[in-house]
Structure 1
Amino acid sequence: MNRVALITGAARGLGASIAQRMHGAGYRVALADVQLEAVQALADQLDPSGERALAVQLDVRQKGDFQKACVLLAERWGGTDVLVNNAGKSKVAALMDITVQEFDESMAINLRGTFVGCQVFGQHFADRGFGRIINIASLAGQNGGAATGAHYAAAKGGVATLTKVFARELASKGVTVNSISPGPLDLPVVYEIVAPERIEQMKQMIPVGALGSADYIADTVLLLAADNASSVTGACWDINGGLFMR
């Protein structure tokens, strides 16, 4: 395995799970996050030598950060093969209380970050004739965000649409673009933003009766990133415990 993967928002939560799974599968992984110290700690844990795990400070709101990361990985490992646009920020907020500033911040992190990541690395992959982009969308973008703010739900709905747009644009270049749409996951961040009583209500509403597994989401990323996954593009894979069926 000589493939190189960049995972955004890799310091904790789902991003960390994806990075760990991909590294375990043999990928050389670039762990990107705005919090360099946190992502460096995980990179050191995966590979203290730095030969197969690298921490990269990256703010997804800045296109220049994606461009710098692309150049860095080209110099260090000869290029990048997989981009996982995972970085995101969710905040529960009453619809009529969301400020314009909060809306814009959510769009910048959750939607614009995915857009510029797809732009920069989509071109890199097209130039190389191979690439895999996996965007982390959300159930919130499909059902209107019953447990999250409207700004987050709107942004994640946009991620699903961008996935199709980039998939169509890059299909003839050997590049696939897909999204994964998780429901509520069993992660610390969920317990941080959702009250305990609401968590129990959520579990009761989920047909399978439990929060989803971040490790399984990571396994799904591996499937979509595989060399033989060339016929899957523009897809959105739902992993939500039966909350949304289509």
Structure 2
Amino acid sequence: MLDTRLTGRTVLITGSAQGLGAALVRAFHAEGARIVAVDVDEAGNRALARELDPQGERVLPLRADLRDLDAVAGVCRAAEAWSPVDVLVNNAARPLAKSLWETTPEEWDDVFAVNLRAAFFLTRAVATGMRERGFGRVVNMASIAGQTARPTGAAYGSSKAALIALTRVFATELAPHGITVNAVSPAMVDTPMVRSIDADALAQLTAQVPLGRIATPDEVARLCLFLCSADSFITGATYDINGGALMR
């Protein structure tokens, strides 16, 4: 049985202030990890940190706009100065539901800057220390949108498909150093963003899921914990968690 306890490990999680990111922070914190929580929502991020860690010993909230590479570099420096990073979860994402005709160049660039470019440079930065220590775990939050074609998913779906490809490249390059890199690919997850969808549209989408419901954030977080196990022999994989919406 895999031991998912992370006592003594430091986990950097992006997009941490709410929804799936907050569930990830809670799950890793419950397993004994120190958390570097990164989000552009400073107030929400700090509130979660205070709730979980009133003494400020095991959760470090950092504000960063991941479209800014200087901010990405600053996050890495601050995290490593606080505690060397053992686990990275690239969860932050910029959603966009527009047809290919409506998507502007600026929107396209923003989506790729957050969903792909930030993941690349964050992973490369923290992997330096991971290589020296001979251990590391990276989980990239992909999406079913990167595996299927949707009418309004040109930028978002393309960025998530590219993230899956990037996962395999990093997994190949980092495997000799004891570092695993995997992707988790959810369909809809019960988050504030999803709950903002029109009720009838949400019901129609849910009806297309063979299990008849959408995933909870905790279910996705538990899968990430599994992939970050110290004795895991999994790397370069993409794990679907979609209730059967995509079977392969």
**Shorter-normalised TM-score: what interval?**
over 0.9
Runs of 4+ residues over 4 Å off in structure 1: none
**What is the CA–CA distance in structure 2 between the aligned matches of 1:108 and 1:131, rounded to whole Å?**
24
Matched pairs, number: 242
Deviations 1:71-101 (A, max 9, x none): 3233222x11000000002122123211122
Q: CA deviation at 1:30?
A: 0.9
Compared with structure 1, are the counterparts of its residues 103 and 74 closer, same or farther at alpha carbon in structure 2 (3 Å cutoff)? closer
> After superposition, where does 1:116-131 map in structure 2 within 5 Å?
116-131=121-136
> After superposition, where does 1:54-69 map in structure 2 within 5 Å?
54-69=60-75
Which residue of structure 2 aligns with residue 81 of structure 1? 86
Which residue of structure 2 aligns with residue 160 of structure 1? 164
**What is the CA–CA distance in structure 2 between the aligned matches of 1:129 and 1:34, rounded to whole Å?**
31
Amino acid in structure 1 at the alignment position of 2:244: G
Give TM-score scaled by structure 1 length.
0.94
Identity of aligned residues (%): 39
Say which of 210, 226, 229 aligns to 1:223. Answer: 226
Give TM-score scaled by structure 2 length.
0.93
Which residue of structure 2 aligns with residue 114 of structure 1? 119
**What is the CA–CA distance in structure 2 between the aligned matches of 1:54 and 1:99, rounded to whole Å?**
35
Say which of 24, 27, 36 aligns to 1:21. Answer: 27
Q: CA deviation at 1:177?
A: 0.5
Deviations 1:81-133 (A, max 9, x none): 00000000212212321112211111111111111111111222112211100
Query: Which structure: greater helix fraction?
Result: 1
Q: Which runs of 5+ in 2 are unaligned?
A: 1-6
Alpha-carbon contact 2:72-2:118 (below 8 Å) kept: no
Amino acid in structure 2 at the alignment position of 1:22: F
**What is the CA–CA distance in structure 2 between the aligned matches of 1:82 and 1:145, rounded to whole Å?**
32
Alpha-carbon contact 1:205-1:243 (below 8 Å) kept: yes
Which residue of structure 2 aligns with residue 179 of structure 1? 183
Amino acid in structure 2 at the alignment position of 1:138: S
Compared with structure 1, are the counterparts of its residues 90 and 17 closer, same or farther at alpha carbon in structure 2 (3 Å cutoff)? same
Q: Work out whether 1:239 is the aligned partner of 2:233.
A: no
Q: Which runs of 5+ in 1 are unaligned?
A: none
CA RMSD of aligned residues (A): 1.3
Q: CA deviation at 1:49?
A: 0.7
Which residue of structure 2 aligns with residue 214 of structure 1? 217
Which residue of structure 2 aligns with residue 200 of structure 1? 203
